[in-house]
Chains A and B, each alone.
Chain A
Amino acid sequence: MDQTRRALCVQHLDIQFSTPHGMARAVQEVSFDIHAGEIYALVGESGCGKTSAAHAVMGLINRINAPGHRIGGRVLFEDKDLLSLTEEEMCHVRGRSLGMIFQNPLDALNPLYRAGYQVYEAIVLDKIGKIEAWRRVAELFNQVKLSDPEARMRSYPQELSGGMRQRVMIGMMLARNPRLLIADEPTTALDVTIQAQVLELILALRAALEMSVWLITHDFGIVAEIADRVAVMYAGVLVEEADVLGIFDNPRHPYTRMLMASLPRGFKRDGRLRTIAGLLPDPTLEIPGCRFRDRCPAKIEVCATQAPALVEITPGHRVACHVAATVKGDLPP
């Protein structure tokens, strides 16, 4: 990728949660850019810190859902560092220029309000008249391809299927034309045919609204299908980042390679990451050296003492691995 405009710039993002066993580092020194108009995928196995990173960017980690947490680094968005904004200032960013779809749509809507009202509530924040706002709700319900939008607007969330709720969520988050949409596993909770429809919808809306999408997933099938660039995360750190061809054609990090190897040939939608041997390291422990060392087939001596930095090995392709950074050409399997 060339020097396109940046939609989001995450620098040295660090997130720690307070746990009974001490502070757990969920995200460590993560830095990446999302370019304007692209779909940037963040991949990694469960618990590696993807959702935490997204929530930190949205300013959704607070003293109520994570007492005693610590967040460090910078998140540049529209010339502002989101992490240093006050709650009041953040309210002008959230929903308006930064939208987020959550991992599980099933309980992401308030059961006491009708679906239409919950979208309406977001729209009227822009000082739009009531009638105009309701018209916009109907338009959005149409846009996210909800059948019988008028009836769906009057439905309560529990009367809607998972796919419908996810569409309502998408409509709600697109209501104010955000510049960046964070989609946290938008299809994980949905069945396969609905998954495809929701992805197509996100793709179509990205084109129509010219927004960027930060797509969080652990499904390489989805990545191959719609992402422009991909980052792979392991135990709170970014281990590799490249455009989608680079990742599939020439994966450099042993973790990425293992993930690729575990994919069935010719996978399409069933491209879920297979579990690979070993476990994520305990996030409360301070680990010297590379965090992937215990599970790594290619480890060398230096891996035990020195954490590898994320370095650019070819233009646009960054890897955090002592072996991959030095060995040119083919890597040992």
Chain B
Amino acid sequence: MNDLTAYAIRRIFQSVFIVLAVTILLFAIMHMMPGDPIQLIDSPRLDEATTAKLRARWGLDKPPVVQYLYWLLNVLKGDLGRSITNGQSVSVLLAARLPATLHITLTALLLQYLVAVPLGLMAGYHQGSVFDRLAVSVTSVLRAIPYFWLGILLIIVFAVSFRLLPVSGYRGFQSLILPVLTLTLPALADTLRLTRSEVLEVLREKHVTTAVAKGLRPQMVLLRHVLRNALVPVTVMFFLSVPWLIGGSVIVETIFAWPGTGRLLWKAISAQDYPVVQGIILLITLLTVISTTIGDILTGLLDPRIRAELGGRVA
């Protein structure tokens, strides 16, 4: 346990540096993009003097390093700047939009794990059965479908043809179903397949035969010795899949007019609204780094072999 704590602390420090590196990179990329938002304001009243004044007001005339340091300091104080398009505070904007995004991503993640793991276990245990073959073929299709395509397909089927569910918007439980399905189905298919193949692998390991030989019932063998072992890589992959899900949520929120950070990011990019884009990407980076850090620490927690290895490396 001590080894693991040391590793966890080290891993968290590492994460902080990763986040810092990403902020620098992010800042650099934004500044290498051609054009600035002032040029986008296509107004006849905008003469040289006004442009310069506006640039100065937004700090766009300072050297990039200074702009970065200012920005970073403010970020640490919780101030992510103001939107260039409407002057609103970015933190306030994000705080308003984040719940909607968390709503669909967390639901999608929960579904992904709770549905895919039992189904994957069943498919692996009953390899070759009708259920298994169905699971394999359905997941193959789902994994290959891009989000936008799946989203539009679901809209056409459930919202347009059968009029069962709303096309878009954020109104109650019903409006949650299609975006969550769009977001979760590909990831669910991946998790199911991973669980299935891990289960198949563990089932062939000798210690499973030992568990049977000592008199454990099949269900106990399956839960304690097959699923438990298969869950190590599945859980880790689950946390590593969070970034993909966040990426997917940008597309899904745009399709379903979901008032979350994903759609906000889309709009901000189109409007070259630097502060908003930076704020959101920073948020995404944080979520990604946090989830992968949890994933890494969890591997050690779940598997004593990895724990021992980590201990060796720390020492």
Contact = CB atoms under 8 A, between A and B. Distances in A.
Interface of A: 58, 60, 64-65, 67, 87-88, 91-92, 94-96, 99-100, 102, 104, 107-112, 118, 121-122, 125, 156, 158-159, 169, 172-173, 175-176
Contacts of B203: 64-65
Interface string B191-216: 00000000000011111011111111
B207 A110 contact: yes
A94 B217 CA distance: 10
Given A60-B213, A95-B215, A158-B305, A112 B206 contact: no
Interface string B220-245: 00001100110010000000000000
Given A112-B228, A156-B304, A102 B209 contact: yes
B61 interface: no
A91 B221 CA distance: 11
B309 to A, nearest CB: 10
Nearest to B207: A110
Contacts of A109: 207, 210
A107 B213 CA distance: 14
B216 A121 contact: yes
Contact of A121 (B212, B214, B218, B302): B214
23 contacts: A58-B213, A64-B203, A65-B209, A91-B215, A91-B216, A95-B216, A107-B206, A108-B209, A110-B207, A110-B210, A110-B211, A111-B229, A112-B232, A112-B302, A112-B303, A118-B210, A122-B216, A125-B215, A156-B308, A169-B210, A172-B214, A173-B214, A175-B214
B229 A112 contact: yes
Given A87-B218, A112-B228, A94 B213 contact: yes
Contact of A64 (B127, B216, B228): B127
Given A64-B204, A176-B215, 20 more contacts: A58-B213, A60-B213, A64-B125, A88-B217, A94-B215, A95-B213, A95-B215, A99-B213, A107-B206, A108-B207, A108-B209, A109-B207, A110-B225, A110-B229, A112-B228, A122-B214, A125-B216, A156-B304, A158-B304, A172-B214
A94 B213 CA distance: 6
Interface string B276-315: 0000000000000000000000000011110010000000
Given A64-B203, A111-B305, A100 B215 contact: no
Contacts of B207: 107-111
Contacts of B229: 110-112
